[in-house]
Every structure is written in structure tokens, then in C-alpha cells.
Copies of this chain bind each other. A is one copy, B any other.
Amino acid sequence: MSEEDDEHGCVIALDVGGTGMKGALLGRDRGPLAELRRPTPGAAGPDAVVDAITAIVGTLAEEAAARGLRVHRAGVVVPGVVSEELRTAVHSANLGWRGLPLAALLEARTGLPVTLGHDVRAGGAAECLLGAARGARDVLFVAIGTGIAAVVVCDGRPVRADGYAGELGHVVVEPGGARCACGGRGCLETVASASAIATAFTERSGRRTAGAADVAVRVQQGDSHARAAWDRAADALATALATVTTLLAPELIVLGGGLAEAGGVLLDPVRDRLAARLTFQRRPRLVQAELGDRAGCLGAGLAAWHDTDHATAADSARTGRTGAWYR
């Protein structure tokens, strides 16, 4: 179909998180035509999550029909280890999946062609194509929330390694440190994730907190316990980012995820500490993500549009995305 014939075409974009799902209809100009959020029923088990995904895709398809829009394809991104090539959720601790052929399953249930992706890589794609990393070739995109994950982009291409790359949250920054859920000790996540910061504040102060965003407010108010937890996280992030810089020399590091919404309260100390750790290395710019919590959903839509435009009916989503981003 030519692009001119397609003013009534759209794709369904869905970002499945550990606690919530963000869905949208995206037109050819990548603008959202409708948005929908629902909780992820993670506690109800892995099958319930697949049912919930099927339901939200169905609701979005009805919304499209009501607007007279043709749905070309659904793009669905999920957390954990994901193989885009095999169209499989290889492993997701939060959602309880292991070796789940999710794309094929959703195609059978919804009747739509489905492109499966990884939530953080999709968010990184969106930031590279539409957000803070537009035009950059060598990029590290870091999503900091309950956990920490990253996308490594080298020469304009995301590093996938069959879905195993980018586990920045499990780089050891405090050898022999706190036990991590992964089984290791002193992983970056145990110090610098939003949840780790909130926990550290409570342990130091004996006070409860609504979360890392609240700790960030207390940092600005001069709370010494908040400052100590925050500085330790900034130190740990700078240590991990210095290692990435030494190995891969990104020109740009983009901090995203919920914690990055603290803005300069996070970016300024991380930037200073990173600069102090570098000697001969090329110094990356460190900036805040632009697309906020919609990056993953937008990335899901970009992938679906890519496959709509490039995949043939015969080989579906298997081709075309092993190399560069979705363009």
C-alpha cells in the first residue's frame, strides 16, 4: 500500500509493564490517535497477563473500528529477556513467562499480525528516532525504575545478543555488597534503582517514603538521610556509566524511566561524578529522556509500523529488524 492511500491506517501499540499496560493507536505520522492504560494482572499468573493483553488489544481494535481506522498490525513490548527474531518472551521473572511464543499466541487470539519487542529496547528506539537521542549514532539509553536496564546502540544499531544484552542493572558496583534478586551481590540495581533508593532512605531515617520521587524532594529540602541515599545511588550510577564509557565510548547517555523524572537532581550529580571518573576516554553528553513513560509504547508502535511497511505477508515480522532501528 502506498503511504498516500493510508490516511485511515493505524497500528496498535502496547507496552506491558510489571504493574501497568500502556496502549495506543498510532497513525502513520507516529502521533497517538487514542491512548488507554490498564493494570497488569501480574499476581493472577502468566496466563492472566496474556488474557489481559488480548483484551486490551481487542479494545484498541474496537476503538480503531469506531473511528473508521484500519489496524495494520499490533506492536507489543514486554520486559525480561525477549528475542525479537524468535518472536518469543524468553524469560520474564515479573510476569512468570519462560519460552513463551507470545507473538504467535496473540496473532492466533486477535487475528492481527503482531510484532513482539523488548520494553527497554523499544523505549530506546523511540528516544533514538523521536526523542533525546535523535541523530546520535553511539548511544546508551538507561531506564531506571523498579529495576535498571539499558539499550546499547552502536553505530546506529541496537545491540541485542539474542535478547541478553543491556543488563546494566546487574553490573557489580559494590563488590560483596547487598544481595540482588538475580543472585549476585552489589549489582547497580541494589543501590540505584528507584526502589533501592526508597529502601535506603527508610533504613537510614526510620521514616517511610512514597518512593524515590519523594526522596528526591527531600534531597532538595536538605534532608541529610535522603542526601546520603541519593549520593550513594549517584556514585553507583557514575561507576557503571564510566565502565560503559570505557568499553563502548557512547557519544550520548540518555537517562529515562521514572527516576530520571527527577531531572537535574539526578542528572547533575551523576554527570559530575562520571566526569570525575574519566581520564582519557571520550566524554559522553548525559541528558534526560524526552518521551517519559510513553517511550516504550511509542517504540512498540514504531516497530509495528516498520513491519507493516517492510515485512512481506510470507515472512511476517522475522526479517528486517536484525540490523538498524525501525526505519
Contact = CB atoms under 8 A, between A and B. Distances in A.
Interface of A: 91, 138, 150, 152, 154-155, 157, 159-162, 164-168, 170-172, 175, 180, 182-184, 239, 242-244, 246-251, 277, 279-282, 322-323
Contact of A172 (B159, B162, B243, B322): B243
Given A150-B247, A161-B248, A165-B247, 16 more contacts: A138-B161, A138-B162, A152-B248, A155-B160, A155-B161, A155-B323, A161-B250, A164-B249, A165-B249, A167-B246, A170-B280, A175-B175, A183-B280, A184-B277, A184-B279, A247-B247
A269 to B, nearest CB: 18
Contacts of A182: 279-280
A250 B154 CA distance: 15
B171 A243 contact: yes
Contacts of A246: 167-168, 170-171
B164 A154 contact: no
Contacts of A180: 279
Contacts of A160: 155
A90 to B, nearest CB: 10
Contacts of A91: 280
The 4 closest A-B pairs by CB, nearest first: A164-B249, A161-B249, A183-B279, A164-B282
B281 A248 contact: no
A246 to B, nearest CB: 5
A183 B281 CA distance: 11
5 contacts: A152-B154, A161-B248, A164-B281, A167-B249, A175-B239
Contacts of A243: 171-172, 243
Nearest to A165: B249
A166 B247 CA distance: 5
A243 B137 CA distance: 23
Contact of A165 (B171, B172, B248): B248
